[in-house]
Chain A
Amino acid sequence: MKRRDFLQNTIPAAILPSIIDNFSIRVLGDNPVMAALLNTYVETDRVLVIIQLNGGNDGLNMVVPLDQYSNYYNARTNIAIAQNKVLTLSGTSAVGLHPSMTGLQTMYNEGKLRLVQAVGYPNPNFSHFRATDIWMSASDSDEQLYSGWGGRYLSDQYSNYPVGYPNTTMPDPLGIQIGSSASLTFQGPSVNMGISISSATNFYNLINGIEDPAPATKAGNALQYVRLVAKQSNQYATRISAVAAAVPTQGTYPSGNTLADQLKIVARLIKGGLKTRVYMVSMGGFDTHSAQTSTDTSTGTHATLMQRLSDGVKAFQDDLKGLGIEDRVIGMTFSEFGRRIKSNASTGTDHGAAAPMFVFGTKVNPGITGVNPTIPTTATVNDNIPMQYDFRSVYATILQNWFCVDNVTLQTIMLQNFQQLGLCANGNCVTTNVDDNRNAGITLISNYPNPFTSSTTISFTTKGGHTLVQIMDALGRVLTTPVDRTYSAGKYQINFDSHTLPPGVYYMRFQNGSTQQVKPMLKVR
């Protein structure tokens, strides 16, 4: 007997209930009748992709203030981009892009890119760590927040996560982060709302089933066993693998570009059908204290970064178009801070303050928000770019316009009332019934005993008003409707006598106003 067979043959009785549970969930998801029955509301299919530029991006060399070119040049003669090399943008002569950013230039000219000038926050912090935390938590400069803005948004939408997840209405990770292993952005008030795929390599390991070698020792054997269980119990791994496998061909992405690698995964997962709303990717190396440029200032370290960013985003946008999902996705770049106006003597720039952000996609309002920062005639080492827009206004606008978050909720996520910037189309915001997900993890209907042989007691909790309980078979046929009337709020019990029914899986469907919940029960001989 093989070991695998042995395991299958000796499943301890204690595990049985969860297997029954899994079985029923699979039936729910796989059965088109049941699926149609459950999908009674319109889902938000919109996606936000956040691109983090780690290290503090030099906004002045990315978005060059052509209207103040001489002041710009004088402030940083050793790294300034030659005026004739700056990429021009249609409809403006004041603003140009880094010479490496031909991709973003094209997107701008095609109306798929919005530039937000001088984004920052009052009293900027110049520490990488603290500034990153501020951007991710959306806190004030002197405020300590322990959750991230994305996490607060997702926590509002999926209140009890991870209890009750994945489920039929939200079978997928709420947020996915690629590239780094811990992000405050997804931290909810109590748990992290996202999952991490720690690297592009790991992701492909996941979908291709490759495993790191374990040592050939007893410990290695034990390690392999635990890893196997970990893989089996990662409830999202199977789903992610299946979704990724459903997208065999994608557009062309540049090679040797880790951002492009990550964005390619994101496009694949979106196309494959993940309902995940927020993705986060990142690229590092922006901390250019020295050797930011080569002698030809349009080349060098920062030029390479600009090219990777631009090429990666352009390839991603083209791929989305080719996959037919272009209108569902917007992206946003951010960095923990910009850099100083005046360059230093080692052809670099030191930690600064405000910097431009890009928001991209077919549904953004193209153009430029704000004006170029004012560059002093004689920049000193202490001169920083002051903020024109608070970064939280960008977040708030995206949440409100893109994710249709109402004003009251927005205040609880952003903690303050931030200015609306009109960055993206205020599209058809269909009121989405999120009760199902808010109630996930809360048992509204249950039965005992389960499994049962003839009769079982069904308990349900109504918040008052009309309440309906239907019993359905595995094909979704309603067999009986034991509860169908108005109740006052509270917990009620009914007896369900099943003696005429054959053994098998049945479903209790609970409906109370806009809330519904379906739970399986098992009749045995």
Chain B
Amino acid sequence: MDRRAFLTAGKKKQTDLHIQPTVVAGRTTTGLNLYAGVWTKTEVTHLLKRTMFGSRLSDISYFAAKTMNEAVDELLNPVSPLPTPPLKDYDGVTGATTPDTSVPDGTTWVDNVNNDGTIQSRRRASFKKWWMGCMLQQDRSIREKMTLFWHNHFATETVDVGNANFLYKHANLLRTKALGNFKQLVRDITLDPSMLIYLNGRLNTATAPDENYSRELQELFTLGKENNPNYTEADVKAAAKVLTGWRVDNTVNTFHSYFTSSRHDATNKTFSSFFGNTVITGRTGTTAGDLELDDLLNMIFAKNVEVSRFMAKKLYRFFVHYDIDAAAEANVIDPLALILRTNNWEIKPALTALLKSEHFFDAMNQGAMIKSPIDHTIALCREWEVVFPDVATLYADAYGMWNYVMTVAANNQQNIGDPPNVAGWPAYYQVPQFYELWVNTDTLPKRNQFSDLMIGNGYSRNGKKIVIDAVEFTKKLTNPGDPNELINEVFDLLFQIPISQSAKDQLKKDFLLTGQDSDYYWTNAWNIYLGAPTTANYNTVNTRLRGLYKYCMNLAEYQLA
């Protein structure tokens, strides 16, 4: 089944599901009114788990000391510089016809031209590892999560694009403009070399039009398929003609796209009644491509209700929940779409309204997402503060570890840089299961194996190890000597669904007290360790903490965020 047939099949099922909605619990009528409720660590943790990869203890404390307004504003206005570009962590000689000798080991290759297939394959691997590193080392902002959002929205695959220098440029575009203007981003993506390769724009010429990008521009990037009426097949053809003539250049280190007027279709392009029978005037000369593209995007974005609602839903499903019922449609999607329109497609005002809304903080919407594999792996490393080799001094080791985490997420069906197709990951769109698709009898045990390994012996490579240091982590808690406070704080960090007191008591007894009844035994063991951190005393507390934390990460509740 090809992608189109698969999508269509999913759509057909949707009709049935409207008759029998699968999600009946947790309806809420809250909307975009400014959230005015309590601002405790619970709300902070919710906000961080949704807008970053995991909620670190230090980040929770940091934002709990601010107001909700300040916290959201800070998350939406990153101040850190962009991540430094990917490094040459690979063998630039073996197997290559054109060895990569001009790029010194450990320096970046992103502005170096080398179209040797072996080298490009290694650069693609470097690029993917680097992207994991960006997320693992993210700053205190929404930037990395938004970059993933756009990666899913404007999906491309590294193997199809082939050229890693283009891929870096593409990822850099998503990251740089992650919180910018949506319409501008669509324009930039249209002329982005990676996208011109991925959806055949570079092969789209007056003599042999290729409709691939033209279709996805409308179906997946701006308008969506759900409108009635909607764009037509004729519109796909017409827009393809508008987009003819663009090419990419991998021979100079600007890795840019360019327009060749002789390949451009200079005829007038007539659109359907959905677009008000618009005619885009055919042009010639070097500016023809740019001018006609502006006309095309103006025409598409003039369908502003459709475009804004499509994007509002996409943001909602990424940050709040997949289920959009009538109340959410009226109270959240419609006003959010209006904000996008009235702000001339700026993303930040819409995100601000959504993330500060009473709907976003509604208890009914907390903990209701199933973590994506990337969220699961990266949040695990970040929340437990797993220490990676320092990329500044040990770049090869750092890249090796990032590669491992990437592999784990990829085995769990989310491979950074390589979504399954241009529609992105099905968990973000596939009715009716959405996020549930992430978890099945194959992936759930793998998730548990990863957490078991990380809290156990860790992952070792080249004499280095990444592992959860249960004792170091526990030291950062407010009062780890008190087993009750320890469990409360850790559970608040890990679980968005409250765990019952009786379960907490049982786990405390089974793990921290080794079956004893008196809290004193844990307190004593912890204090003895703090007073004399010998191997023996360390092991005593470490064994018990590891058992508890391992158990926690195997609970179903841990898969939710």
Given A226-B439, A227-B556, CB of A218 within 8 Å of CB of B364: yes
Report the stretch among A72-80, A103-111, A179-187 that lies at the interface. Answer: A179-187
- Could you mark each residue 390-417 of chain A with 1 if its beta carbon is under 8 Å from any beta carbon of chain B, else 0? 0000000000000000000000000000
Measured between beta carbons, the chain B residues less than 8 angstroms from A282 are 515
- Could you mark each residue 410-430 of chain B with 1 if its beta carbon is under 8 Å from any beta carbon of chain A, else 0? 000100000000000010000
Asked if A184 and B543 make an inter-chain contact with CB atoms under 8 angstroms apart, the answer reads yes
Partner of B525, one of A129, A181, A218: A129
Measured between beta carbons, the chain B residues less than 8 angstroms from A217 are 25-26, 363-364, 367-368
Given A54-B514, A144-B536, A218-B26, CB of A14 within 8 Å of CB of B413: yes
Interface residues of B in 462-516 (CB under 8 A from A): 496-497, 506-507, 510-511, 514-516
Does any Cβ of B come within 8 Å of A466's Cβ?
A: no
Asked if B366 and A222 make an inter-chain contact with CB atoms under 8 angstroms apart, the answer reads no
In the assembled complex, the CB of B75 is this many whole angstroms from the nearest CB of chain A, namely 22
Measured between beta carbons, the chain B residues less than 8 angstroms from A14 are 413
Asked if A190 and B23 make an inter-chain contact with CB atoms under 8 angstroms apart, the answer reads no
Asked if A18 and B25 make an inter-chain contact with CB atoms under 8 angstroms apart, the answer reads no
Does any Cβ of B come within 8 Å of A15's Cβ?
A: yes
Tally of B interface residues using CB under 8 Å: 65
Measured between beta carbons, the chain A residues less than 8 angstroms from B13 are 1, 6, 10
In the assembled complex, the CB of B46 is this many whole angstroms from the nearest CB of chain A, namely 11
Interface residues of A in 21-64 (CB under 8 A from B): 52, 54-55
Asked if A3 and B511 make an inter-chain contact with CB atoms under 8 angstroms apart, the answer reads no
Asked if A144 and B369 make an inter-chain contact with CB atoms under 8 angstroms apart, the answer reads no
- Could you mark each residue 81-99 of chain B with 1 if its beta carbon is under 8 Å from any beta carbon of chain A, else 0? 0000000000000000000
Asked if B23 and A221 make an inter-chain contact with CB atoms under 8 angstroms apart, the answer reads yes
Most chain A beta-carbon neighbours within 10 Å: one of B518, B521, B536: B536
Does any Cβ of A come within 8 Å of B337's Cβ?
A: no
Does any Cβ of A come within 8 Å of B160's Cβ?
A: no
When A and B form their complex, what is the total count of cross-chain residue pairs whose Cβ atoms lie within 8 Å? Answer: 147
Most chain B beta-carbon neighbours within 10 Å: one of A142, A184, A216, A223: A223
Asked if A287 and B516 make an inter-chain contact with CB atoms under 8 angstroms apart, the answer reads yes
The CA of A397 and the CA of B364, in the complex, are separated in Å by 58
Most chain B beta-carbon neighbours within 10 Å: one of A132, A227, A230, A285: A230
Asked if B25 and A218 make an inter-chain contact with CB atoms under 8 angstroms apart, the answer reads yes
Interface residues of A in 213-240 (CB under 8 A from B): 214-223, 225-227, 229-230, 232-233
Report the stretch among B171-179, B187-195, B231-239, B440-448 that lies at the interface. Answer: B440-448
Does any Cβ of A come within 8 Å of B360's Cβ?
A: no
Does any Cβ of A come within 8 Å of B432's Cβ?
A: yes
Given A184-B543, A215-B497, A221-B23, CB of A230 within 8 Å of CB of B556: yes
In the assembled complex, the CB of A170 is this many whole angstroms from the nearest CB of chain B, namely 17
Partner of A180, one of B441, B515, B560: B515
Asked if B516 and A223 make an inter-chain contact with CB atoms under 8 angstroms apart, the answer reads no
Measured between beta carbons, the chain A residues less than 8 angstroms from B437 are 12
The CA of A10 and the CA of B550, in the complex, are separated in Å by 33
Given A6-B13, A130-B540, A198-B510, CB of A284 within 8 Å of CB of B369: no
Asked if B517 and A233 make an inter-chain contact with CB atoms under 8 angstroms apart, the answer reads no
The CA of A497 and the CA of B368, in the complex, are separated in Å by 52
In the assembled complex, the CB of A129 is this many whole angstroms from the nearest CB of chain B, namely 5
Given A215-B497, A222-B436, CB of A129 within 8 Å of CB of B370: no
Partner of A218, one of B23, B452, B510: B23
The CA of A182 and the CA of B367, in the complex, are separated in Å by 27
Given A144-B536, A181-B511, A219-B497, CB of A232 within 8 Å of CB of B26: no
Asked if A219 and B540 make an inter-chain contact with CB atoms under 8 angstroms apart, the answer reads no
Asked if B457 and A221 make an inter-chain contact with CB atoms under 8 angstroms apart, the answer reads no
Asked if B441 and A220 make an inter-chain contact with CB atoms under 8 angstroms apart, the answer reads no
The CA of A215 and the CA of B497, in the complex, are separated in Å by 9
Nearest B residue to A53 by beta-carbon distance? B515
Measured between beta carbons, the chain B residues less than 8 angstroms from A219 are 26, 366-368, 496-497, 560
Does any Cβ of B come within 8 Å of A345's Cβ?
A: no
Partner of A191, one of B413, B452, B510, B518: B452
Does any Cβ of A come within 8 Å of B282's Cβ?
A: no
Does any Cβ of B come within 8 Å of A128's Cβ?
A: yes
Measured between beta carbons, the chain A residues less than 8 angstroms from B147 are none
Q: List 25 A-B contacts (CB under 8 A).
A: A1-B13, A3-B20, A6-B16, A10-B10, A10-B13, A18-B441, A128-B521, A129-B544, A142-B536, A162-B449, A182-B547, A182-B548, A182-B550, A184-B543, A198-B506, A198-B510, A215-B497, A220-B497, A221-B26, A222-B370, A223-B497, A226-B556, A229-B440, A233-B440, A285-B517
In the A-B complex, the 6 residue pairs with the smallest Cβ-Cβ separation, listed nearest first, are A182-B547, A218-B368, A219-B367, A54-B515, A233-B441, A217-B26
Extra A-B contacts (7), CB below 8 Å, given A221-B23, A233-B444: A6-B17, A13-B1, A129-B514, A190-B457, A214-B497, A217-B367, A218-B321
